[in-house]
A = this chain, B = another copy of it.
Amino acid sequence: MSKKVRQNKIIEIISTNEIDTQEELAQILNSSGFDVTQATVSRDVKELGLIKINGIKRKHRYSIT
């Protein structure tokens, strides 16, 4: 699978799920057939420019910018 496909999947995942951690994201990716580790997710998050929202109400989740 290409990186691009995986990154599209990441966008889809965080759009439909409340993702707290990169580990969690990696697990969902694995369940979806993308065999990746947290290290790669970290790189994808960076490339995609994703941010971690950490506000007082909306606690802890990844989001697209």
Interface of A toward B, CB cutoff 8 Å? 45-47, 49-56, 65
Contact = CB atoms under 8 A, between A and B. Distances in A.
Q: Which of A50, A53, A55 has the most CB of B within 10 A?
A: A55
B54 A49 contact: yes
A51 B53 contact: yes
A55 B46 CA distance: 5
Contacts of A47: 56
A51 B65 CA distance: 11
Nearest to A43: B56
Contacts of A65: 55
B56 A46 contact: yes
A53 B55 CA distance: 14
